[in-house]
Structure 1
Amino acid sequence: MKTLLKAIPLCAALVAAAPSTWAQETVRWGIPMSFGSNLTALGDTMPWVSEQLKKVSGGTVNLQVFEPGKLVPALGVFDAVSTGKVEAGYSFMGYELGKVPVSAIYGALPFGMETPQFAAWMYYGGGDALLKEAFRPHNVYPILCGSISPEGAGWFRKEIKTPADLQGLKFRAAALGGKIYQKLGASVTMLPGGELYQALEKGVLDGTEFSLPSVDDQLGFAKVAKHYYMPGWHQPSTNQYLYVNLQVWNKLKPQTQAQIETTCTAGVAIAMAKAEATQAAALEKFEKEGVKLHQFNKTMLDAFGKASREVLAEESAKDPMFKKTYDSMSAFMNKNRKWHDLGYLPRDYKN
């Protein structure tokens, strides 16, 4: 009994000390985004992640989302996070191609992995470790926080039947897709999503690619271009990331870091599911509005594929981190090729 009585003050002291050790820390960040929060599966994923973080943290982790241009320019999220202008931001990875070349293949690898396989490589094939390695010198901690189905290949004012039809075409494309269109003779411009409708309407552009059919519908492209092409060879998966300033990230408690990363992982699943759930209705709507849906023929896909291999070889030769990551991606794809060829029903099979 004496021993027990002596132990009571010690237990009380431990309980009193627990809140300061285990308490959830308070986080208040403004999160600029590269695309509007109204855009299905693309822009509405980060707001969903923000709401879930509030719930799992009891309201102490609040990542307030800001629309493009409200805090920083739509294409300036990476720079703002890297320099510490903001604690974190949400963006497609690849707009920072000039400073971090490897970012382009993390955002979307032409003729690369679709979303489920890309996630497999990221989480179980070494992709995430390579990503952290690549961005560390830029003072950024990137977290995969959304991944969507293949994009549409592009909206055009005229039919595209042969590679010659791309010569001199004024076209908007991002990252590696843009380099491939340039190699095939197009005049490529990089504009944010909010400026594309007007550019098409006024003839500044002859065509554009941007995102999923459902997102392209929200941006009104069907009103100003009537030829919509698929498949999205340039972006079989499109991947969004929460960029966190590395110094800010390192100051967080492990509990908070885990909450953010786990909620972003859930965001990948939510974006993937929503993207798959909403495209059929968008295509049906386009047809009712007089849009002609096309698939690029083999001649076009072969031309894109050849140009893609050339661009990827050129980028690999210029940047060791690009090559290291591309080699890892390619090895993972090749290793899984037989499983995909044998394990999944052919897409043209109908029961």
Structure 2
Amino acid sequence: MTTRTNGKIIASIALAAVTAAAALPAHAQDRVRWRMHSTYPEALPVAGATSYHLGETIDMISGGAFDIRVFEPGALVAGTQYYDAVSNGSIDAAYGSPAFNTGKNSAYAFFAAVPFGPGAGEMMAWLRYGGGMELANELYAEDNLYMLPCGILPPETAGWFRKEIKTMDDLKGLKMRFLGLGAKVMEKFGVSTQLLAPSEIYQALELGTLDAAEQSIPAVDRGLGFYQIAKYNYFPGWHQQSTVQELLINLDSWNALDEGKQTMVKLACDQALMQQFAEGEAAEFEVMQANVEDGVQNMTWSDDQLDQFRAAWEEVVADETGSNPDSQRVWDSLTKFRENYKIWGDAAYLK
């Protein structure tokens, strides 16, 4: 679904928001213009259109009073390198994922995805009602930033490999694109990981500077062309059972908005989150079938292999929380929430 065909989807919130905007005093309706970077190109399936759709939604529900111009990766800043530009006000906002910001504070990774961690429902419950958002914005505020969850993806694949992984020893020496906390797990098995922007991965695989890569869900990965080069696609995505997308906003730009326009941004992010997750869930089976037709083998990690990944993750989280007090605080919050959530989750959901 492209950003040009979203009118019906957003109509229900548009009418109410336009009515609310019309009731605002004249000074509150002064036109606001923002420049926003997107980590993902618009053409990228599922994740790519979200930021552009977000801008269109806000323009529509504001009646044109709030104009967000979205820029492709590289137009303003490099794909994942938006943190400083938003922090210093060079641009007003950026669309990406907290995991891209770990060079500033490794604790940000926990707000994106956690190995063997929560699915989308549980993750959003923690962020919204378990203290996750408060912790995130406490950390972001130190650099003049404000974050809103503005998308969430279903479980990712566990990676695309040129060669079959028959034993864990086959991972040793591989060069692999990997994101966030999962990358540190892979390094425990001798994998050399690096974080590339989505648009850079295909060429690296094609040139052989990467042996393998994980990026996202099958629909996104097919849009990036991985199936043409790496023919072994592994499941399940133990490293990212859900992945949060962020709208990162310069705090001064955010505080300069009146309450009505802040509400518009929040509503638009809520809608974008729902749409991205639903589209992500709906798109995968056809893509997996198409991949098989193109010679891809959908592989499954064995229980023993998953146990080894889990054991390595336990080492990683101990290292991370021991070296970063912010990570310890975030991990404590998430762990407590998940322990309580099990009372509901174990009773309510089929195993």
TM-score (structure 1 length as normaliser): 0.91
Give yes or no for the alignment of 1:92 onto 2:83.
no
Kindly tell me: are residues 308 and 24 of structure 1, through their superposed partners in 2, closer, same or farther at Cα, counting changes over 3 Å?
A: same
Aligned equivalent of 2:319: 314
Provide the secondary structure at the position in 2 that maps to 1:94. Answer: helix
Distance in 1 separating the partners of 2:239 and 2:261: 36
Provide the secondary structure at the position in 2 that maps to 1:112. Answer: coil
Query: Which residue, 241, 249, 257 being the options, matches 1:252?
Result: 257
Give yes or no for the alignment of 1:293 onto 2:298.
yes
Give yes or no for the alignment of 1:63 onto 2:44.
no
Distance in 1 separating the partners of 2:273 and 2:25: 33
Q: CA deviation at 1:222?
A: 0.7
Aligned equivalent of 2:219: 214
Q: CA deviation at 1:20?
A: 4.7
Q: Percent identity?
A: 39
More moved, 25-34 vs 151-160: 25-34
Distance in 2 separating the partners of 1:174 and 1:256: 33
Q: CA deviation at 1:70?
A: 0.7
Query: Which residue, 31, 42, 46 being the options, matches 1:41?
Result: 46
Provide the secondary structure at the position in 2 that maps to 1:102. Answer: helix
8 A Cα contact 1:162 1:299, kept in partner: no
Q: Which amino acid aligns with 2:118?
A: M
Query: Which residue, 317, 324, 333 being the options, matches 2:329?
Result: 324
Query: Which residue, 76, 84, 89 being the options, matches 2:81?
Result: 76
Aligned equivalent of 2:10: none
Q: Which runs of 4+ in 1 moved over 4 A?
A: 18-22
After superposition, give the CA deviation of every residue in 1:275-318 in whole Å (9 maximum; x if it has no partner).
11100111010111111101111122111111111111111112
Q: CA deviation at 1:19?
A: 6.6
Give structure 1 stretches of 5+ with no counterpart. Answer: 1-17, 347-351
8 A Cα contact 2:148 2:248, kept in partner: yes
Give yes or no for the alignment of 1:243 onto 2:248.
yes
Kindly tell me: are residues 19 and 308 of structure 1, through their superposed partners in 2, closer, same or farther at Cα, counting changes over 3 Å?
A: closer
Give yes or no for the alignment of 1:168 onto 2:173.
yes
8 A Cα contact 1:135 1:142, kept in partner: yes
8 A Cα contact 1:25 1:256, kept in partner: no
Provide the secondary structure at the position in 1 that maps to 2:151. Answer: strand
Aligned equivalent of 1:110: 115
Distance in 2 separating the partners of 1:183 and 1:201: 26
Query: Which residue, 231, 234, 239 being the options, matches 2:239?
Result: 234
Distance in 2 separating the partners of 1:154 and 1:330: 26
Distance in 2 separating the partners of 1:115 and 1:64: 29
Distance in 2 separating the partners of 1:22 and 1:281: 50
8 A Cα contact 2:46 2:219, kept in partner: no
Query: Which residue, 173, 191, 194 being the options, matches 1:189?
Result: 194
Query: Which residue, 126, 130, 152 being the options, matches 2:131?
Result: 126
Distance in 1 separating the partners of 2:88 and 2:56: 27
8 A Cα contact 2:135 2:330, kept in partner: yes
Distance in 2 separating the partners of 1:19 and 1:267: 25
Q: CA deviation at 1:345?
A: 2.0
8 A Cα contact 2:119 2:155, kept in partner: yes
After superposition, give the CA deviation of every residue in 1:149-189 in whole Å (9 maximum; x if it has no partner).
01111000111122211110111101111111112110112
Give structure 2 stretches of 5+ with no counterpart. Answer: 1-22
8 A Cα contact 1:88 1:242, kept in partner: yes
Provide the secondary structure at the position in 2 that maps to 1:64. Answer: strand
Distance in 1 separating the partners of 2:32 and 2:321: 39
Quote the RMSD (CA, aligned, Å).
1.4
Distance in 2 separating the partners of 1:49 and 1:284: 30
Distance in 2 separating the partners of 1:202 and 1:147: 31
8 A Cα contact 1:25 1:253, kept in partner: no
Distance in 2 separating the partners of 1:68 and 1:262: 25
Aligned equivalent of 2:274: 269
Distance in 1 separating the partners of 2:167 and 2:110: 26
